[in-house]
Amino acid sequence: MLTLKKENHVFEALGNKSFFKLICGASFTDNVLVENLSFIFTLAGAHVIDLAPHADIVIAAKNGVEKAIEFGKKDKRFKYNLKPPLLMASIQLDLDPHFRKVEVDRNLCDVCGACVKVCPTEAFKINENEGVKDFIYNKERCYGCGICPSYCHVKALNMTEVKMDPYNTLNDMLLLGLKSIEFHFGKNYLRIREIWDKIKDLVKKLELVSFSLGSGLLSDIEIKDAARLCFELAGSNIILQCDGIPMSGGRSNAGKNGHNNDELSLHVAKLIEEEKMPVYLQIAGGTTEFSFDNVKNSGLPVNGIAVGSYARKLLIPYLNDIYSDQNFSSAFRIARSLVQSSAVSGNYN
Ligand code: SF4
Ligand code: SF4
C-alpha cells in the first residue's frame, strides 16, 4: 500500500466534498484548446485538470495554468485566492473507450455533412469553393465519444483504438513533472494487479492517483472487486472515479434532463460505498451543472465531480479566441458556474 502526500487544496476540496475536476479528455489532443481550457478553468477554480498523456498537451496545459495565474494577479475581478490546479494525465492499462479516435474513409465519404452537425468539439468542417465541397477532419479535436459513426450513412467513420505503453507513458509524465495520474483499464480490472509490480515505484512519486471504473464495462460484482483491488494496491488517498456513460456529456440531451443524468455513476458510487473503504469517490460520465444536486439528493458520500464532454461542448464557441473580452466573459461565466455548482446548490461548505 502506498502513502501519498495529503497536504494541499486538492485534498482539502476532496475532504469537504467540493472537489471539481475538468476533464480535457484522454484522447483530446488539440493543444490550443487544451491551453485555453486550462486557462479558463484555472481562473474558475478547478482543483484538477485531466489531460491526454502527451508531452505537448501537458506543456499546453501548463502554459494555460501559468497564463491564468499571471492574469489573476493583474485583474481586480479575481479577488479570491487563485490556486493552480493539479495536472493529471490519463493512462490506459487495457482496452478502454476513453482511448480512441475516429478515422475517416475518404473513399466512402460523400460530404453529406451529417457528422459536422453532431460532433460536440467541431472536429469536422466542410469548406465550399465554387461548388466544390472539401471535407476537413481535425483529428486532434476528436476525443472518441463515438457519436458520429452512427450518423454516417456510408459507414465512412470508424472508431480506432489509441495504443500506449503504460510504464513508458507514466515515466514520461513524471519526467514532465506531473504529480497525478488516472488509470483506465476498461473491462480488464485484473490488469492492475498484473502491472502493479512494474509501475508501483513510479506511482510512489505521485501525489494523487485516480482509477476510473465504468458502469457499462463492469458488472456490479466486478465494480466492487475492482474497487477493493485499487484500494489494496494503492491505498487510502486514492480517488475512485465512478463513471456513468463515458463521454456522454456532449450528447444533445445532456444537461436538459439534468436530474436524471447521473443515475449510473451514482449507482457505481453506491456499490463502492457499500465496501466501506477510506477512499475518495468522484462521479463522471454525463455530469453537468446538475450533478452536485444529484449527489446531494442521493445522500451518498461522494467527494466531487468531474466534467468533461459537457464543459467542452458549452465552451467550444469561445475557445479559439479566449482573450477577446466577450469570449472571455462568456467562457468564464460558464466555467465558474460549473466549478461552483457545489456552492450554488448549497450542497457542501
Ligand atoms: S463526434 Fe465524437 S467520435 Fe466523432 S469526431 Fe467528434 S469527438 Fe470524435
Ligand atoms: S457523415 Fe459520413 S459521408 Fe457524411 S460528411 Fe461525415 S464522413 Fe462524410
- Give the angle 291-295-301 at the CA atoms, nearest 5°: 140
Answer whether 161's CB lies under 8 Å from 94's CB. Answer: no
SS3 label, residue 189 = coil
Is residue 156 within 6 Å of ligand 2 at its C-beta?
Answer: yes
In the CATH scheme, what architecture does the domain 9-98+164-344 have? Alpha-Beta Barrel (3.20)
> Residue 75: which pLDDT band, with cuts at 50, 70 and 90?
confident
Does residue 346 carry a pLDDT above 50? Answer: no
Is residue 104 within 6 Å of ligand 1 at its C-beta?
Answer: no
Cell of 181: 495520474
Does residue 212 carry a pLDDT above 60? Answer: yes
123 alpha carbon – ligand 1 mean position (Å): 7
pLDDT 10s digits, 133-158: 999 999 999 999 999 999 999 999 99
Backbone angles phi, psi at 74, to 5 degrees: -90, -20
Ligand 1 atom nearest 145 alpha carbon: 2
Question: Which ligand minimizes its atom distance to the CA of 139?
Answer: 1
Is residue 146 within 6 Å of ligand 1 at its C-beta?
Answer: yes
Ligand 1 atom nearest 144 alpha carbon: 3
Residue 349, pLDDT score:
31
Question: Which of 266, 146, 279 shows the shortest CA–CA distance to 211?
Answer: 279
Domain ranges of the chain: 9-98+164-344, 100-161
The number of helices, as runs of H, and strands, as runs of E, in the chain is 12, 12
148 alpha carbon – ligand 2 mean position (Å): 9
CATH of the domain spanning 100-161, picked from 3.90.950.20, 1.20.5.50, 1.20.1250.20, 3.30.70.20: 3.30.70.20
Answer whether 341's CB lies under 8 Å from 296's CB. Answer: no
Q: Do domains 9-98+164-344 and 100-161 have the same CATH topology?
A: no
> Residue 87: which pLDDT band, with cuts at 50, 70 and 90?
very high
In the chain, at which residue ranges do the beta strands (DSSP E only) sit?
19-23, 48-51, 86-92, 100-104, 124-129, 132-137, 157-161, 180-184, 208-214, 239-243, 280-284, 304-307
Question: Which of 35, 4, 5 shows the shortest CA–CA distance to 331?
Answer: 35
Distance CA 96, CA 218 (A): 12
107 alpha carbon – ligand 2 mean position (Å): 11
Residue 105, pLDDT score:
97
Among 87-91, 253-257, 277-281, the range scoring the smallest mean pLDDT is 253-257
The pLDDT of 80-103, averaged and rounded, is 92
Q: How far is CA 313 from the centre of its chain?
A: 13
Answer whether 135's CB lies under 8 Å from 107's CB. Answer: no
Q: What is the pTM of this model?
A: 0.94
Answer whether 47's CB lies under 8 Å from 21's CB. Answer: yes
pLDDT 10s digits, 245-263: 888 887 777 777 655 679 9
- Grid cell 467541431 — which residue? 122
Is residue 123 within 6 Å of ligand 1 at its C-beta?
Answer: yes
SS3 label, residue 126 = strand
Residue 3, pLDDT score:
46
